[in-house]
Structure 1
Amino acid sequence: MIKNFLIERRSWILLFIIQQLVIILVAYLDNAIPFKPILYIVFLSMIIFILFLVVRYHKETKFYKSLEEWENNLDLTSIIEPERPFEKIIEKSMTDQTERLKRLASENQLVLEMEKDELLAWIHEVKTPLTAMHLIIERIDDKPLKSQLTYEWLRIHLLLDQQLHHKRISFIENDLFIETINLKELIFKELKTLQSWCIRKGIGFDIQLEVTEVLSDAKWLAFIIRQLLSNSIKYSEAGDINIKSFEENDRAKLEIQDFGRGIDPKDLPRIFDKGFTSTTNHADNASTGMGLYLTKKAAEPLHIHIEVRSKIDAGTTFTLSFPKKNDFVNIAGM
């Protein structure tokens, strides 16, 4: 212990000794300095230094000695079974914990699956009376009342549709069927669904379709276009919404342009985030922040790239870039 103590501190012990030898050498060489008094001072310094080392040794080694005694008296065999090494206990504990977490995750996944199936079944059940309600509304002769009821029916229909696709989007890869789609038929079908809303707001459409066919999944592409059209109608006043398709860089593109309130530049990077509405229109309770989020999520497995251009009080333009046939090589159903 003493040896280790001195070895650990050898650098500053040597420094002290060299310092004392230098003082003696200077006093010996310089006749102006009395040699014997210097020698006496060095002697006293050495005595004090040695006493200091002794005191520090006892103080610093006392704690380490207690640790050694405690370590020597520690009987690990009383804690660990003789036939089961400590490593095996740790390994068994980790295995048990992993199995427990896996079992818990499986149970939670099963519960979520059941809740999803129940919600989807409920949505389908609600659609039945909703369809009957729409047929009843169609027979109403009072036009103002009919228009108002149709508008409220459409709001419920769009919210249910959004919720339905929200629950399905986690399994979208299992639900895709890529085929050639007639873009004109799909767009006009969606516009017919939104007709009552457009009439109520005095919104028309300027449609120019140079490209009439695209490769995609009909159901999910209809959902994407429905969300973009709903978004344009919601934030537009009376006027036209431009819809046009064209080919650029060997890719079919669909552009939906409105002239509504537009999007603040600082909000543009976040409009596809889940739950994001707006930083400038906090009083807008009509927005759920889910439409564009689901649009982006649905577009990714379809290899549809969405571009957005917008200017405050001037409108917003969404552009869909459709993939080539080769982009669907890894998608089942092609």
Structure 2
Amino acid sequence: MIRNFLIERISWILLFFAFQGMSLFIAYIDATIPFGSMLYVTFLSSLLFAVFLCFRYFRETRFYRSLEDWESSLDLSEVAEPISPFETIVVHSITEQTKLLKSELSENRIQLEQEKDDLLAWIHEVKTPLTAMQLMIGRVENVTLKAQLNQEWLRIHLLLDQQLHQKRLTVIENDLYIEQIQLESIVFNEIKTMQSWCIQKGIGFDIQLNRTDVLSDAKWLSFILRQLLTNAIKYSEKSDIFIKSYEKEGQICLDVTDMGRGIDQKDLPRIFDKGFTSTTDHREQASTGIGLYLAKKAASPLLLKIDVDSLIGKGTTATLCFPKQNEFVNLQGM
């Protein structure tokens, strides 16, 4: 700040020293003016000028220091009161711009909330004909056609479900209900939902649930598991998916292992990034790069840890580690 202050007033400082130099020069060439006295006056005036600069520095920079420390929170109470006409102009300009930004922010929030509500309403409306479609598919006699229709119905159902939970993620804390739940029922419900897809791809399940009681939210845990199973089924073909639960260092963990094509090691750090698909199969259109991103986002407020280990051609293992009970007690005072 001192450097900026001196740079801002460099012309005034140079003008002052120019006057002092001119006074000394005149005293030097004019014998009627005592040079020693003028030198003494110059020293005193320079000292007074230095004191004046220090005083003005603390007085004038108070306002600008407050601007420098001001966080962009649109709260002008943190800005110091102006003490000069120019500072008043700055404050007036900032105030007007802040009012405009607050107004635009409020309008944008209202618009986003409206769009979110409209989308949620649309998703719920679409679920009605989707349910009717499922009943109609059940009456189709052609086995091959029925399997194809079931698979396409499931794809639409999963995409709508993904969109629904994506919009709810912003307020997930308002929707959580932490309780003791059984992994077995959640795992089997999700497998049953994707049964037609698994049958068409020749995929089976090997399930070993040694520990089934976990502390979590049933609805959001189902959503996270759904994303992991969707990935496992999508990249597998005529092989088994292994699901097992176990205890590790006092925590219950759940593994979902497929024998699919696997993930390149260089891609593993990015698989939870929004929109990231793959560098190995970059032209593939089936992947959206959103499932694991949403699973990671939903896992955070549930204190779930998601890890993925994979090798090309050797399959992929996604691991869910559940929190200990005291972690939720400390967080929510259960």
TM-score category of the 2 structures, normalised to the smaller one:
0.7 to 0.9
Map residues 111-150 of structure 1 onto 2, 5 A cutoff: 111-150=111-150
TM-score by length of 1: 0.74
Unaligned runs of 5+ in 1: 8-83
Distance 1:179 1:202 in 2: 35
Letter in 2 for 1:90: V
Q: TM-score, normalised by structure 2?
A: 0.74
Shift of 1:332: 5.4
Report the Cα distance in structure 1 between the residues aligned to 2:85 and 2:19, rounded to whole angstroms: 37
Distance 1:2 1:258, change over 3 A: same
Give the Å deviation of 1:5: 7.2
CA distance in 2 between partners of 1:5 and 1:246 (Å): 89
Paired letter, 1:276: F
2:293 alignment counterpart: 293
1:3 CA drift (Å): 5.4
Per the alignment, residue 154 of structure 1 pairs with: 154
Separation in structure 2 between the aligned mates of residue 153 and residue 142 of structure 1, nearest angstrom? 16
Alpha carbons of structure 1 residues 332 and 6: separation in structure 2 relative to 1, 3 Å: same
Relative contact order (alpha carbons < 8 A, sep ≥ 6): 1 or 2 greater? 1
CA distance in structure 1 between the partners assigned to 2:106 and 2:182 by the alignment: 42
Task: Look up the match of 1:235.
Answer: 235
| Partner deviation per Cα, 1:97-146 (whole Å, 9 max, x = no partner) | 11211111111011000000000000000001001100111122221111
5 Å matches for 1:275-314?
275-314=275-314
Pairwise CA distance, 1:210: 0.4
Structure-1 separation of matches of 2:222 and 2:155: 17
State the partner residue of 2:267: 267
Q: Which residue of 2 aligns with 1:181?
A: 181
CA offsets 1:204-224 (integer angstroms, 9 cap, x no match): 000000011111011100000
Who is 1:102 aligned against? Answer: 102
User: Which deviations, in whole Å up to 9, do the C-alpha atoms of 1:164-211 show, x marking residues without a partner?
Assistant: 111111111111110111100010000000000000000000000001
Secondary structure of 2:116 counterpart: helix
Residue 203 of structure 2 aligns with which residue? 203
- Counterpart residue type for residue 104 of structure 2: L
6, 21, 35: which one aligns with 1:4: 21
Q: Distance in 2 between matches of 1:330 and 1:173?
A: 16
> Secondary structure, in 3 states, of the residue corresponding to 1:306?
strand
Contact 1:177 1:332 in 2 (8 A): no
Deviation at 1:85, TM superposition (A): 3.1
SS of match in other structure, 2:295: helix
Q: Quote the Cα distance in structure 1 between the aligned partners of 2:181 and 2:308.
A: 23
Q: Deviations over 1:270-326 (max 9, x none)?
A: 000000000010221111110000010000110000111100000000010000112
Structure with higher Rg: it is 1
Report 1:165-176 matches (<5 A).
165-176=165-176
Deviation at 1:2, TM superposition (A): 7.3
Q: Contact conserved, 1:178 with 1:333, CA < 8 A, in 2?
A: no
Once residues 95 and 330 of structure 2 are traced to their aligned partners in structure 1, the CA distance between those partners, rounded to angstroms, is 37
Tell me the SS of whatever aligns to 1:165: helix
Q: Is the aligned partner of 1:93 residue 2:110?
A: no
DSSP-derived class of the 1:277 partner: coil
Checking the alignment, whether the CA contact within 8 Å between 1:179 and 1:217 is kept in structure 2 is yes
In the TM superposition, what whole-angstrom CA distance separates every residue of 1:33-58 from its partner, at most 9, and x where no partner exists? Answer: xxxxxxxxxxxxxxxxxxxxxxxxxx
Local SS of the residue matching 1:100? helix
Query: Residue in 1 aligned with 2:216?
Result: 216
Structure 2: runs of 5 or more not aligned: 1-17, 25-83
CA distance in 2, matches of 1:232, 1:203: 10
- Take 1:125 and 1:332, find their aligned partners in 2: how far apart are those partners? 35
| RMSD after superposition | 1.7
Deviation >6 Å, runs of 4+: none
Q: In the comparison of the two structures, how many residue pairs are matched?
A: 258
Quick one: structure 1 residues 6 and 238, their matched pair in 2 at CA, closer, same or farther if it must change by over 3 Å?
farther
Instruction: Indicate how the Cα distance of structure 1 residues 204 and 3 shifts in structure 2: closer, same or farther if over 3 A, else same.
Output: same
Cα distance in structure 2, aligned partners of 1:2 and 1:179: 82
SS of match in other structure, 1:220: helix
Paired residue secondary structure (1:247): strand
One-letter code of the match for 2:307?
E
